[in-house]
Every structure is written in C-alpha cells, then in structure tokens.
Structure 1
C-alpha cells in the first residue's frame, strides 16, 4: 500500500513512517521538508495522488487551527478533487470534546472537518504521551514541592504503541464513512504526585511533596474531574510509564518529544 503520513518528519509521524516501512508498505513522509505545507495546501494534491491511505499526524500546538484543522479540511478537499477513495486515519486526543482547552478544541474541530469532508475516515483518540506526562511532572515541581490541580490524574501512553495502532488502522479495510476507533491509553493511571515522584527517582532526586491547588476555570476543572481519562471501552497497551522512563536519559531532558 502507498500511505501518506502528514507530519511524517515529526515525533509521532516519523514513527508511523518507520512502522509502515518495516511492514513492507510504501510510506511517504509529507511535511514542509518534502514540499507539502498543510497551512497553505502546497504540494498536497501531488502527494495524495495515488495514495491508498493517509495518516494525518501533523500538528502544531501553537497553530492548531492552521495545521491540524485547516490541514484536515485541505486533505478532504484534495481527496475529493482527486476522486480518491483513500482512507484517512487521523490522530486526536482523549477528552477533546470534554475539555475547553484551545488545543483540544482544535483536535475536535479537526475531527469535524474530516466528517464534513465526506471521505472514509477513522479517528483515533489517544491519551497524552509519556514524554508530555514527564515534562509536566518536571515543570510542576518547584523545589521540594510538586503542584497538582485538585486530584488530577492522567493515563499516559507509549508513543510507539500508538504509532503501531495508527499503522494498523491505515492498512486495514477503509470504513464506510466516518468512524471513531476505540480510544488508546496506557495501562496505568497516575496522579500528579506519583508521576513527580517517579521522575524525581529517575533523576536521582528526593520525591517532592504534593501541594494541591483548587481548579479554577473550565479548563482546570475539566482536568481535575478526570475528563482527560479514557472511557471503559478504551484499548490499553504499550509500555507502562515506568518502563518508558527507565529507557530515558538521566536527568530527563525538559522536552516534549520522546528520544527513544
């Protein structure tokens, strides 16, 4: 199969490309490096022509409406122009319809754009990757203290496992229309204090004492109420956070992408 991966030079997209290639498929990494710009639609028709499937993993936390949402719209428009039956598999976030955080809302808008496009689409919502959970645990530590918004919990997931599941969907039979797959999540949910303690231990520091602050505003209340957690029908798998953390450099770099 010829499968185009938007954001194919990125953290998640690059892993999807490698996984598809390992399985013997023709994986095409579409990004600005290869002349494809979702923000303006440049190069999109050319790269999508002849594609059997598209994995939409391109994202920009700073410009999600320009890349995630407008990109989804342009993918749909391009496939319609080409009269292509290509199956679109798009990554989204668990809780994007329940938390009013702008980036989450953009992911929901991206889903809606593909639904309106009328092309075969599978939406795959995943929880936060381990690297983001670790970054937040580091950022929310202030000296000997760790800050938690209420009793906020998260259920981070292994990015490699998510990439493999995206590859599974892309190589499977296309749905008849627009569908949402089962949510993807890691095997364990953690509160903020537990994540901070695990990161501190990894870095050779003493575990911080957790200080809980009240959730103020819709966004923080959403996280405190667990709206970012997967539902009971979610598919869980991949490395637990502890196993992922053990494979990372010491001390843990303060960056969002996964080095391993």
Structure 2
C-alpha cells in the first residue's frame, strides 16, 4: 500500500511517498530529479535512513526517462543502518514530521509590510529544537521556506553545509553542488569561526551576532572564484539535524565591505 503527502522540504520536491522498501520523492520532471540528485544527495540518503528505507527514488513525470534510485547505504557507515518500520506499518502519522503545518505557513505569510513577508525568527527555530523527538523535516522546511534572507544548517563539528536555502545559494553565486555537503570554513577566518562554534554550543541561542566574513564572488568574464568581504549580523541556534549537532543560521544582514 502506498502513502503520500505533499511536502515543501526542499526545492523541486512536490511530495513524498512510501512504496515497499523505497521512499519516493516526487518532482515535476527528469531534469528536476537530476538536479536534486546532484545537489541534495547527502540529505536524500539521510532522509531515507530516517524512514528506515534502503532506497530513495526520485520520481518524475517525464516520459521515456527512468526514475533515479539513490541507495541509502551511500552515506551510512556499515552496521549503523536500522530498519524499524515495515512497509505495512507505515501510516499517515509517519509523515507528520515531514509536513509543514498550514498554521505555521500562514504565520510567515501574513502581515505584509512594505511588500515583504515576515522573516523567519529565531524563536520559531528554538521552539522546534526544544521539542522532544526528531524534527529534521520541520527545521528543513523552515530553512528552505524562507524567501527573503539566507538560512543555513551547518554541522558544528565539521563545518559541513547540510542545508542552505535558495537565497543563501544565490548570494554565494556557486552552483548548489559546490556549496552543499562542502566545508564552509573558507568563508571564515579560522579564529572567529572557532569562537562562534564554541559560543553557539555554550549558549544554544545567539541573537544578532556580528562578524566579518566572506561570500563567494566571481568576476564577470572569468572562471576564478574570489572571496568578497562582508559584515554579517546573524541569529544562531544549536539544533539536532540528521543526527548531528548543527547550528541553524539566519542571516539578518550582510553588508559588503
């Protein structure tokens, strides 16, 4: 029996479904499936692990093009994968963690001022982080649903970018595959990054932290990537995401220097 639900988890995803031992991620076309495979591979494999599935399948509507299978073991160390749910026991409740509630969506869209919607708040992240149990999908939905400011979810130990919204990727100019699942240390000076990591771990919530860092920039007509210095004002929260201790970043201001 197949179950599915619409989900705003990441760009191009229009829904999730369970079919046997496979987690199906639905997108519109084969091109979108291929881009998702290139850009979100680590996230997709971990998503499959969360559901206790061996395969994540990117399903699309393009005729004469195959679905794209992704094996969860690609990102799971031997002996760590667990399968706790059999397909026949999957119910709608299993998808609740992957559904952005309509009320939360309305909160972020109402009260337009000056043509802009309300920005994501640190309080929203904190409320999710304080809930018991896994909230990976809700955190992802918050980050990826924000349209006006850059949001990031970064592994505190390795500085690996686990998630970034479209605004963050556009601001850094590089293709998603060159940012996601990559070390973000190059956009920081070493000592400020170490101090920030320690601060977020100690305080859990850090509001309007200011620092000088970088964004990627490429001069027109060249293939050389440069770092362009910015002064940033950022809200941070330490969260558990995909089984890792991470910091959720809300970039409130980024001013070129």
Normalising by structure 1, we get a TM-score of 0.31
The structure with the largest strand share of the pair is 2
Normalising by structure 2, we get a TM-score of 0.31
